[in-house]
Amino acid sequence: MRSGHRVVVLGAGYTGMLAAIRLARRTRRMDVRITVVNPSERFTERLRMHQVAAGQELAEHRITDLLAGTGVTFVRGTATAIDPEGRTVVVDDGAVTLGYDTLVYALGSSADTGGVPGADVHAFTLDGAGGAARLAARLRELGAAGGTVAVCGGGLTGVEAAAEIAEAYPGLDVTLIGVAEPGAMMGAKARAHLRRALDRLGVTVKVGARVTKVLPDAVELEGGEIVPADVCLWTAGVKVPSLARDAGIAVDERGLVVVDPTLRSVSHPDVHAIGDAAAIRMAWGRIHGTCQSGMPTAQYTADAIARLLRGRPVKPFRFGYFHQPVSLGRRDAVIQFTRADDTPRRAYLKGRAAVLYKETVSGSPIKLYRLGKRMNVSATLSKGGRATRRPAA
Ligand SMILES: Cc1cc2nc3c(=O)[nH]c(=O)nc-3n(C[C@H](O)[C@H](O)[C@H](O)COP(=O)(O)OP(=O)(O)OC[C@H]3O[C@@H](n4cnc5c(N)ncnc54)[C@H](O)[C@@H]3O)c2cc1C
């Protein structure tokens, strides 16, 4: 190992934090300097942003507190450019330049409001604590007077948000708008439970509906139907930062960093990509961005970097999905257990047991960071068994 190996981790979201903390522990007797870059000092619990939108206050977790005792340096700022040939990262347009020997690219994703006119101007998103808090303030205002809320995107984020808002503000008319049926990827029983919960909470569900325009007080659907919306929340589709693409690092058609079976960039092997910003293929298909899949990529990458620094071989990354945990307000939830490729098994949980399960899942990253400073705790529920034993095509 070269002396004073410099690792820079871009992004202190779910995966960047785990990668930094675990790598610090794995290399604690080595001459390795780890630096994490993130725009905010507060750790964003993205899994709970719909709770913030509905007016709940979350515990405040500061990144420096979570990193305390690890020796990891925190730089508050936004990475604005990467020079993969010179191995540097520019922060805040040149305010700071960081050299690296190994780069961990963990910049995550955000709601893609660029594809539909008006969405970037009129719609709220759940990307960060700031946006969720602004939505919370608007909903509080509206909740008192009464009004309409359109949640665009019938995926699990949309379902969780619609349920949470409808439960917190029973006086608001909440409409969930999506192409597919809510919970389409679940088994019939879990999906039926999810639908009953939305009905009970008074959420109007529009299926087979594509939003074509977001207006100040409504959304327009394909075919011309207008759905009134004093508030529009956008959860339909995600995009990733353009930093890797701009730097000439190989990306796929969506801008995700293309990686080899050990999660290293195919164009720049000293760049490791994890979480939502990485294009990862397993033998069963493509991983889609979730915390569930992201945490194992971070764990794996920390271990892989430590092994590479010791000159040891690294086995390919293996991951299989295990569950789809979905909150339905604070008093109900549904958990669909899955096969490695995220297709549903027969087993599912609902009601109180599911609420407890979901809360355990949502709270587990922070617990993992704390414990991970002192011991090696696994963030991987399933490596996919037989489904990941053969290499990805
Ligand atoms: C409301 C909601 C509910 C969800 N529920 C679930 C769930 O139940 N289960 C599940 O598995 N997944 C869920 N997800 C998805 C999950 O949150 C993401 O898959 C996960 O956050 C990905 O982790 P990440 O580390 O890749 O990205 P993130 O956690 O988004 O972290 C990326 C970090 O990079 C920072 N960053 C971005 N650009 C820069 C830059 N230029 N310079 C420096 N830092 C930068 C960001 O500020 C952020 O801190 C949910 C998402 C939302 C929005």
Nearest-CA neighbor of 183 among 194, 174, 172, 175?
194
What's the one-letter identity of residue 173? D
The conformational region for residue 142 under phi > 0 = left, psi -120 to 50 = alpha, else beta, is alpha
d(CA 180, ligand 1 centre) in Å:
23
Task: Pick the residue whose CA is nearest to atom 7 on ligand 1.
Answer: 47
Looking at the CA of residue 292, tell me the nearest atom of ligand 1. 11
Burial pattern 113-127, b for ≥16 Cβ within 10 A else e, equals beebebbeebbbbbb
Q: What is the pLDDT of residue 359?
A: 97
Residue 223 exposed, middle or buried by CB count within 10 Å (0-12, 13-18, 19+): exposed
In this structure, what token pair is assigned to residue 230?
């004093």
User: Which of these, 79, 90, 103, lies nearest to 8 by C-alpha position?
Assistant: 103
Q: Give the nearest ligand 1 atom to 128 CA.
A: 47
**Residue with CA closest to ligand 1 atom 3:** 47
Amino acid, res. 212: T
- Residue 161 CA, ligand 1 centroid: distance in Å: 16
pLDDT tens digit at each of 393 positions of the chain = 456 999 999 999 999 999 999 999 999 999 999 999 999 999 999 999 999 999 999 999 999 999 999 999 999 999 999 999 999 999 998 889 999 999 999 999 999 999 999 999 999 999 999 999 999 999 999 998 899 999 999 999 999 999 999 999 999 999 999 999 999 999 999 999 999 999 999 999 999 999 999 999 999 999 999 999 999 999 999 999 999 999 999 999 999 999 999 999 999 999 999 999 999 999 999 999 899 999 999 999 999 999 999 999 999 999 999 999 999 999 999 999 999 999 999 999 999 999 999 999 999 999 999 999 988 888 888 888 878 886 665
The residue whose C-alpha atom lies closest to atom 35 belonging to ligand 1 is 11
Separation of CA 310 and ligand 1 centre (Å):
31
Residue 128: which residues within 8 A CB-CB, separation 6 or more? 40, 44, 46, 49
Q: Is 182 exposed, middle or buried (0-12, 13-18, 19+ CB in 10 A)?
A: buried
The CA–CA distances, whole Å, from 253 to 60, 155, 240 equal: 36, 22, 11
Distance 48 CA to ligand 1 centre (A): 11
What's the CA-to-centroid distance between 82 and ligand 1, angstroms?
A: 20
Ligand 1 atom closest to residue 40's alpha carbon, by position in its atom list: 47
Best CA proximity match to 233, nearest among 326, 142, 162: 162
Kindly tell me the burial class for residue 390, based on how many C-beta atoms sit within 10 Å of its own C-beta (0-12, 13-18, 19 or more).
Answer: exposed
Centre of ligand 1 to C-alpha 44, Å, is 8
For the CA of 358, the closest atom of ligand 1 is: 8
What ligand 1 atom has the least distance to the C-alpha of 325? Answer: 8
What is the whole-number distance in angstroms between the Cα of residue 292 and the centre of ligand 1?
Answer: 11
Start-to-end Cα distance in the chain: 33
Tell me the backbone φ, ψ of residue 140, rounded to 5 degrees.
Answer: -60, -45
Q: How confident is the model at residue 391, as a pLDDT?
A: 63
* pLDDT value of position 378: 86
CA 26, CA 23: separation in Å to the nearest integer? 5
- Distance between Cα 332 and ligand 1 center (Å): 24
Q: Report CA dihedral (381, 315, 15, 362) to the nearest 10 degrees.
A: 0
Put residue 147 in one of left, alpha, beta given phi > 0 → left and psi -120 to 50 → alpha. Answer: left
Strands 123-124 and 5-10, by their bridges, are unpaired
Which protein residue's CA is at the shortest distance from atom 50 of ligand 1? 47
Pocket of ligand 1 (CB under 6 A): 10-16, 37-39, 44, 46-47, 49-50, 78-79, 106-108, 126, 157, 160, 241, 243, 275-277, 289-292, 294, 325
All structural domains of the chain, each given as residue ranges with its CATH number in brackets, are: 5-39+77-109+240-322 (3.50.50.60), 113-234 (3.50.50.60)
